[in-house]
Structure 1
Amino acid sequence: MNSDVILNQFLLEYQFRIGKDTLTHYLINVRQLLHFTGKSIDSVTKSDILGWLGYLKKKKYKPWTVWGKLTSLKTFFKYCLEEGYIHKNPAETIPFPRIEEKLPYYLSLDQLGKVRELLQGRLEERAILEVLYATGVRISELCAMKKEDINWSERIIHIPKGKYKKGRIVLFTRNCEEHLKRYLDSRRDNQPYVFLSVVLKNRPIDKNTVGSRFRKYSKCLEFKFTPHTIRYTFTAHLAQKGMPLECIQTLLGHEEPQQTRYYARLYNHSRTELYDEYM
């Protein structure tokens, strides 16, 4: 079967399984491999893939980039094998590159306290911080959040479409509830989004606006952090309070093995730090 036809079939099959951007990258990576080898999908061998990965290494591609490209190939050729387009998965036994992983940076309770102090009186900005810290949601999920997603009596928020197009439930604290209610009560509009664009009041706030604000906070406080740092902080602080890793991963909406491993290292590091405080 023609390679373009197979790629289109893969697109149709996976468009409801993974995010649009991720799927786009998968297709780009497969096309790059095919262009490099000059072969059709059913002719690609393990040696071809190893040759392409070696080429990427010589071109100084970062290990995480190569990891991502190999993940794309493994997923795609597994699909091809299942559908009978190929008789053997050429990517199946290829090992992922070794990566020296640095632990993600997260805020201490003292640093978090300084951020809260900085945002005192800024209702919307403080509410954003508290929602990020209490729920561990991704910035894209925060921006898309609607009022109807919030269950105040149960203190839960429904995330209808996460990164991998699967909904989940996240929890929020009484402290978060207090600041979020105070902000929403100050609003004089009927817009459905929890946080609104500063330019178009009928649209949700965008990631660039939130990111820009966090850069300003970093400059004022003289320690760097981003919205995603708060997600790491959420993970580390829950680990230090004794929540099982499996529960944290459910709240984070994680499924991919590399994400699981990455956050597991953060979890273990956080628990060790807690242990050291008592010894």
Structure 2
Amino acid sequence: MLKGRVKGVYLRGNTYWFAKQVNGRRSFVSLETDDYVAAVQRAREIRDAPELQPAQSFRAEVERFLKHKYETNRYSKMSAESKRSCLNLFADSVKNIPPSNVTGYQCKAFYDAAKKRVAASTAESYMFTLRSFFNWCLTENLCRRNPVIGVQLDRIDRKGRTRFADSDLAQRLIENAPNDDLRYILFCGFHTGMRKLEIIEAVPEWFNLSRRTVEIRATATFRPKDRDARTVPLTDQFAEFLKGYGLRSPYVLQPDVVQGSHRYRFDFRRAFSDYMNAEGVPSITPHVMRHSFA
């Protein structure tokens, strides 16, 4: 005889369900498990805390979640946009139902479908985003458990870094750059390890030529990826270049270009790619520049 039975728990097919009664109305909740002990635990959670906060549609709760993350400085504007895309994909897959109605089976189906469309690491990142969202839902009392927790993720072989530019190649690319804007971009990447967005959003106040430093910190339009400001020494070569190039305002690179509807205020992707192809090193990207600095 099993101890700790909960009235209303029953097996339907291979899954345990819980029959509950609230205000004289009977309803049935899937406990999403074929294990009786786990089913009893989940039934008790529902019985002991039957009322959840009224929830809006999945997409509406996503917007609340992203607003919270942005206002508490956990997501940058760009990070929030990336997470929104993932969460809205999931919302479409579950017909935009409230978070409390989402099941582990639906999360597993979303993960399996994602693996057929995108790289395994990208599908994994989708699940991490979903897990974070449902953890927030728990704190907001919008659901009783995180349905992503039970989804088994594939083990991914992580490849080590293989692409970088040595100092001779970096120097050659800087010297041969067809214009000073591209030369500035190369200096930022190879000599300070700036990320692409940091290069684009850099403001003159970051640079201290007398102390030979650049402090990458938050501005009105930018938040560092790791949320913390960091100070990087400026090489003599980069500092000398900046004296001639000029610390223009409001942005050092292409100061007259304002933010539009695109992801970047100014995107140097095409010019950068064309130059690397012309130099015979198409594998060099802004990310590789940062790796090479590190």
Q: With the length of structure 2 as denominator, give the TM-score of the two structures.
A: 0.66
Aligned identity (percent) is 22
Aligned pairs (5 A) from 1:75-90: 75-90=132-147
Q: Which residue of 2 aligns with 1:19?
A: 76
Which of 91, 99, 104 is 1:41 aligned to? 99
1:89-168 matches, within 5 Å, as: 89-102=146-159, 103-119=161-177, 122-159=179-216, 160=218, 161-164=222-225, 166-168=227-229
In 2, Cα distance between equivalents of 1:3 and 1:28: 18
Measured against aligned partners, the alpha-carbon deviations of 1:195-218 in whole angstroms (never above 9, x if no partner) come to: 226xxx46599543x322322322
Q: How many residues align?
A: 225
Report the CA distance shift for 1:162/1:47 in structure 2 as closer, same or farther (over 3 A).
Answer: same
Q: Determine the structure 2 residue equivalent to 1:72.
A: 129
1:230 positional shift: 0.8
Question: Match of 2:109, SS?
Answer: helix
The alpha-carbon distance between structure 1 residues 93 and 136, as it changes in their structure 2 partners (threshold 3 A), is farther
Is 2:283 the counterpart of 1:213?
Answer: no
Larger radius of gyration: 2
Q: Which has the higher helix share?
A: 1
Q: Which of the pair has the greater relative contact order for Cα pairs under 8 Å at 6+ separation? A: 1
**Pairing partner for 2:65 from 10, 13, 27:** 10
Q: Secondary structure at the match of 2:122?
A: helix
Counterpart residue identity of residue 229, structure 2: R
Cα distance in structure 1, aligned partners of 2:101 and 2:258: 48
Check 1:164–1:82 CA distance in 2 against 1; reply closer, same or farther (3 A cut). Answer: farther
**Residues 134 and 234, structure 1, Cα contact 8 Å, conserved in 2:** yes
Q: Which residue of 1 aligns with 2:87?
A: 30
The residue type equivalent to 2:291 in the other structure is Y
Provide Cα deviations, 1:20-66, integer angstroms capped at 9, x if missing partner: 23323323433433432344311222222112212233x43321321
CA-to-partner distance for each residue in 1:174-198, whole Å, 9 max, x for gaps?
222111222218xxxx64321226x
3-state DSSP of counterpart to 2:246: helix
Task: For residue 147 of structure 2, give the secondary structure of its aligned residue in structure 1.
Answer: coil
List per-residue Cα deviations over 1:50-102 (Å, max 9, x = no partner): 12212233x43321321221121011011111222222112235344333444
1:238 alignment partner in structure 2: none
C-alpha deviation, 1:165, in angstroms? 7.6
Displacement of 1:222:
0.9
**What is the deviation of 1:168?**
1.0
Structure 1 pair 196/7, CA: closer, same or farther in 2 (3 Å)? closer
Q: Which amino acid aligns with 2:288?
A: T
CA RMSD of superposed structures (Å)? 2.8
Partner Cα separation in structure 2 for residue 170 and residue 96 of structure 1: 37
Aligned to 1:180: 242
- Which residue among 223, 227, 234 is the counterpart of 2:293? 234
Deviation at 1:149, TM superposition (A): 2.0
Greater strand fraction, Structure 1 or Structure 2: 2
5+ long unaligned stretches in structure 2: 1-53
How many Å separate the matches in 1 of 2:92 and 2:257? 44
Distance change in 2, residues 1:178/1:93 (3 Å): farther
Any conservation in 1 of the 2:254–2:266 contact (CA below 8 Å)? no
Amino acid at match of 1:111: L
Alpha-carbon distance change, 223 to 150 in structure 1, aligned in 2, over 3 angstroms: same
Change (3 A) 1:8 1:180: same
